[in-house]
Amino acid sequence: MAEVAGVTVDTGHWIGGERVGSAAAFTDLSPIDEQPLAEVARGGPVEVDAAVAAASRAFPAWARTSREDRARALHAIADGVDEHVEELARVETADNGALIRSHRRGVMPRVAHNFRFFADWLLRLGHDDFETRGHRNHVDWDPAGVCALITPWNAPLMLATWKVAPALAAGNTVVLKPAEWSPLTASLLAGIAAEAGLPDGVLNVVQGTGAEAGAALVAHPDVRRISFTGSVPTARSISAAAAPNLTPLSLELGGKSPLLVFADADLDLAVDLAVEQYDNAGQVCLAATRLLVDASIAEEFTERFLDRAGRLVQGDPREEGTDIGPQIHRRHFERVDGFVRRALGDGARALLGGGPNTDLGGLYYRPTLVAEAPEGSEILTEEVFGPVLTLQTFETEEQAVAMANGTRFGLAATLATGDPERAARVTGRLAAGTVWVNCFFVRDLRAPFGGSRQSGVGREGGDWSFDFYCDVKNTVMAPWEK
């Protein structure tokens, strides 16, 4: 047990409806001050085997549970989340350093929405029967089995429930492995689900490192689906581990997304969109970190951007007035700083920030804008995942599209333009799973979500989630004799 931000958090695993300890533990640090929050049970193959076995035992009954009863169970979990928004917000802010105001107003209510959406979508899921030479075709979505869900640290509970909710709605059982840098709200979710009456073994949580718990989970022969959000190198390792079992994968990976600002754009809107990319201290996979600006307006855009970004308040994320908090962990902080130092060493120039916030110390990195980076350099092509944006200019639409597509990633893209014909033309040529035009981060769970190129494999959301978490079956019936 640990007391975190005034909330009691059980730091054991949740397996088969019980709290389970481990012989080993790991220390969970708060990014706010790098002080210990909790000693967390450190799972490995033994705990993974137990969790998969519990999920396997629970699967037949849960799979046979009617859609209506599964939907009611998910709504009950959502009710529990709504009742505990404040506690969840405080714990998650302490654990991953994101803004308390965002957790209270947006993130935790969205967690509840994730469960409600997939509960309701389940009840409308279906496909009209169709005939083939007098034979009737009928499509079913059969639960697949035990799902291994591995989630990142940057939005721990929201991203976990993007996976947990559809997997449970589909009739599967789950083993959730949260990131070791932010594991605490997954433990709270297990308690909320139990209070809501979710049967034992349907949701299990195993904490630990990727090398120990994660590796054992994705290689387990009794796992029928793997959904992972994280880095490309880890995805490669997961794919290799899953290959002998032919376990289907859904992978949402990194990004190096562009924000294209054309000369006909609303400049105030474009600047607002650009500054918004510092959200969550830049620790957002979808962030449009490459600002590609028409050369004819670049000077005015930059001047307005620097004025607007310079007014951001960096500090303690527990304060309502803070705009930017810390990086998640010392190791990640040093990685972000390394990208910037190497870029500056290669001749780039920092127009804003460019290093740690020494006034605050710790893990606080100044919002940074890098210009004049050499073409093809890593700061322009590799994911930094911190509050670091780059500025480049283009002369033509053709050049803008080429620059936008000039990385191995293809997760998202954002456009600012006043010309709807240009918007249609450019979006059709961009390599991206999601494109926003004159907006950012509008996310509807009915829409497909995922990445192109090395930003991922597969799509989730709406029917796409059920297509992944189910074995889709077509039954063909000959006409019955009268």
CB 115 within 8 A of CB 100: no
In whole angstroms, give the CA distance from residue 338 to residue 345.
10
| 304-342 tens-digit pLDDT | 999 999 999 999 999 999 999 999 999 999 999 999 999
Task: Count the neighbouring beta carbons within 10 Å of the beta carbon of residue 99.
Answer: 25
| Catalytic residue flag (residue 285) | yes
Dihedral angle of Cα 74, 79, 83, 87, to the nearest 10 degrees: 20
- Write b or e for each residue in 235-263: b if 16 or more Cβ atoms lie within 10 A of its Cβ, otherwise e: bebbbebbeeeebbbbbbbbbbbbbbbbe
Q: What residue ranges define each of the domains in the chain, with the CATH number in brackets?
A: 2-253+455-475 (3.40.605.10), 258-437 (3.40.309.10)
**pTM for this one?**
0.96
The pLDDT, as a whole number, for residue 190 is: 98
The pLDDT, as a whole number, for residue 95 is: 98
In whole angstroms, give the CA distance from residue 385 to residue 86.
27
| Catalytic residue flag (residue 18) | no
- Judging by DSSP bridges, how do beta strands 36-41 and 25-29 pair with one another? antiparallel
| 97-143 tens-digit pLDDT | 999 999 999 999 999 999 999 999 999 999 999 999 999 999 999 99
Q: One digit per residue, pLDDT tens: the chain, 482 residues?
A: 999 999 999 999 999 999 999 999 999 999 999 999 999 999 999 999 999 999 999 999 999 999 999 999 999 999 999 999 999 999 999 999 999 999 999 999 999 999 999 999 999 999 999 999 999 999 999 999 999 999 999 999 999 999 999 999 999 999 999 999 999 999 999 999 999 999 999 999 999 999 999 999 999 999 999 999 999 999 999 999 999 999 999 999 999 999 999 999 999 999 999 999 999 999 999 999 999 999 999 999 999 999 999 999 999 999 999 999 999 999 999 999 999 999 999 999 999 999 999 999 999 999 999 999 999 999 999 999 999 999 999 999 999 999 999 999 999 999 999 999 999 999 999 999 999 999 999 999 999 999 999 999 999 999 999 999 999 999 999 999 87
Taking CA atoms, 426 is separated from 55, 267, 351, 390, 431, in Å, by 46, 19, 28, 21, 10
In whole angstroms, give the CA distance from residue 262 to residue 404.
13
Residue of 87, 180, 285, 470 marked catalytic: 285
| 455-469 tens-digit pLDDT | 999 999 999 999 999
Strand-pair partners of 371: 349, 391
Helix axes 462-469, 108-124, angle to 10 degrees: 80
The pLDDT, as a whole number, for residue 481 is: 84
Task: For tokens 């080429």, name the residue.
Answer: 402
Strands (E) across 123-181 are located at 130-132, 135-143, 146-150, 173-177
Give me 432's structure tokens.
């991206």
The pLDDT, as a whole number, for residue 431 is: 96
Residue of 87, 180, 252, 460 marked catalytic: 252
Tell me the three state secondary structure of residue 369. strand
Helix axes 184-195, 156-169, angle to 10 degrees: 40
Tell me the three state secondary structure of residue 389. strand
